[in-house]
Amino acid sequence: MTKKSPITPTIPFDQDGVHHGFLKLPYSRDDSAWGAVMIPITVIRNGNGPTALLTGGNHGDEYEGLVSLFKLAGKLSPAEITGRVIILPAMNFPAFLNASRTSPIDKGNLNRSFPGKADGTVTQKIADYVLRHLVPEADIVLDLHSGGKTLDFIPFAAVHVLDDKEQEARCVNAMKAFAAPYSMMMLELDSVGMFDTVVEEAGKTFVTTELGGGGSTTAERVAIADRGVRNLLIHAGILTGDPDVPDDSGVMLDMPDGNCFVASVSGGLFEPCVDLGQMVTRGDLIARVYDANRTGGVPTEYKAPRDGIVACRHFPGLIKTGDCLAVIAEVVGK
Ligand SMILES: [Zn+2]
C-alpha cells in the first residue's frame, strides 16, 4: 500500500488569490523536539486554466532560480494570470538554508532522490511529496538550476531527448519560449533519481536550466531567469502580454555524447586557459592543473575533446581528481 506523505501544505491549492505558506514536514530533532521543516510555497490562482509548477533550490546553492522565484512570489498578482502558478523556490529548503548543494540533515541530494519515500529521510520525503502531490497538478514544470559552488555555466535552458517525440516537441517549444541566451539538448550522465526524469515520465512538459553558478549570482543572470520565467508563463497561456525574446537568444547547443565532458584526472591548482562561451577546436589547451604541494612540477594539461563552445567549467581555484573540469557543447545553430 502507498504510504501517506507526512507533509501537509498550510495553504489551499484550489482557491483564487495569492496564498503564501509552507509545506510542513515534521522533523523531530535535538533543538526542536516536535519541530518541523517549513518549506516556503506560494500558490497564485485565478479561475480555471493551466497550472505551472516553478521550482528552484532543488540544489541549495544555485541562486539564479532561487532569487527569481522568491521575487516572483512577492510580485505576481492573480489579476495578471489565468489558471494557477505554484512557486516552490527552495525545494530542498534545508540545503538552501545551509548554502549547500545537498541537505545538511541527511546529506540528501534531492535531484538524485526521486521518486522519494514517504517514510524515508527528510530529503526523500520532500521528493515523494513533490512528485505525488505537486507534479500531477501541473501542465508545465520549470526547474531552475545553475552550477552551484563548484560549476559555472553559460546561461541555458535545456530539455532532454525523449522517446515520446510529441512530448519532446512540447518541451523544446517551451525551452525556446524561455529565450535564454542558449538552448541545450542535454545529455545526463547520471539521470537515475532526477526530478527531470520522473516529471518527464509523468508525461509533463518539462524545462530545466543552468543559468550560471559559482555559488552566487549576477544581475544579468537573474534578469535572464526573470525574463525566462515570464516568457514561459506566457507560452503556457497563464500570463498575458508579449514575450521578451532578445535577438541574440536561443543559440541551440547539443551534447551528443559523453565526449562533451572533461573530467579531471589530477588534483591541485586549477588554471582555466579558456573562458565560458569561448569557441574551441579539438586539441586546444583548455586548462592546466598544478601540483598544489610543490613548485617546479610539470602541470597536467587538458585539451578540448571536440570542437565546440565552453558551456561549463569547474569553478573553485582548487580541483580534485574526478571533478568535472569542463563541458564542451556543440553549437548547432539557432
Ligand atoms: Zn542543480
Q: Note the pLDDT tens digit of each residue in 9-26.
A: 999 999 999 999 999 999
- The whole-number pLDDT of residue 53 equals 98
Which tens digit of pLDDT belongs to each residue from 37-68?
999 999 999 999 999 999 999 999 999 999 99
Find the 200 Cα to ligand 1 centroid distance in Å: 17
Find the 148 Cα to ligand 1 centroid distance in Å: 7
Find the 173 Cα to ligand 1 centroid distance in Å: 22
Which tens digit of pLDDT belongs to each residue from 113-172?
999 999 999 999 999 999 999 999 999 999 999 999 999 999 999 999 999 999 999 999
- The whole-number pLDDT of residue 1 equals 64
Find the 17 Cα to ligand 1 centroid distance in Å: 31
- The whole-number pLDDT of residue 312 equals 98
- Confidence class for position 195, pLDDT limits 50, 70, 90: very high
21 to each of 18, 40, 41, 95, 334, how far by Cα in Å? 10, 6, 5, 19, 41
CATH annotation of 8-254? 3.40.630.10
Find the 65 Cα to ligand 1 centroid distance in Å: 10
- The whole-number pLDDT of residue 25 equals 98
Find the 147 Cα to ligand 1 centroid distance in Å: 6
Q: Is 114 exposed, middle or buried (0-12, 13-18, 19+ CB in 10 A)?
A: buried
Q: How many CB atoms neighbour CB 230 within 10 A?
A: 20
Per-residue pLDDT, averaged over 85-104, amounts to: 98
For helices 219-235 and 63-75, angle between their N-to-C axes, nearest 10 degrees: 60
Which tens digit of pLDDT belongs to each residue from 297-320?
999 999 999 999 999 999 999 999
Find the 298 Cα to ligand 1 centroid distance in Å: 34
Q: Is the pTM of this model over 0.95?
A: yes
Find the 47 Cα to ligand 1 centroid distance in Å: 33
Domain coordinates of the chain in residue numbers?
8-254, 258-331
Find the 81 Cα to ligand 1 centroid distance in Å: 28
Find the 59 Cα to ligand 1 centroid distance in Å: 5
* Count of helix runs (H) and strand runs (E) in the chain: 6, 19
Which neighbouring-strand residues pair with 308? 280
Give backbone dihedrals phi and psi of 212, rounded to 5 degrees, phi first.
Answer: 155, -135
Find the 213 Cα to ligand 1 centroid distance in Å: 9
Find the 257 Cα to ligand 1 centroid distance in Å: 20
In angstroms, the CA 12 to CA 5 distance is: 17
For helices 165-178 and 219-235, angle between their N-to-C axes, nearest 10 degrees: 130
Find the 123 Cα to ligand 1 centroid distance in Å: 15
Find the 101 Cα to ligand 1 centroid distance in Å: 7
Which tens digit of pLDDT belongs to each residue from 217-262?
999 999 999 999 999 999 999 999 999 999 999 999 999 888 999 9
Assign residue 118 a region: left if phi > 0, alpha if psi is -120 to 50, beta otherwise? alpha
- The whole-number pLDDT of residue 256 equals 87
Q: Which fold has domain 258-331?
A: OB fold (Dihydrolipoamide Acetyltransferase, E2P) (2.40.50)
In angstroms, the CA 226 to CA 96 distance is: 20
Find cell 527552495 and name the residue: 90
Find the 226 Cα to ligand 1 centroid distance in Å: 18
Find the 131 Cα to ligand 1 centroid distance in Å: 17
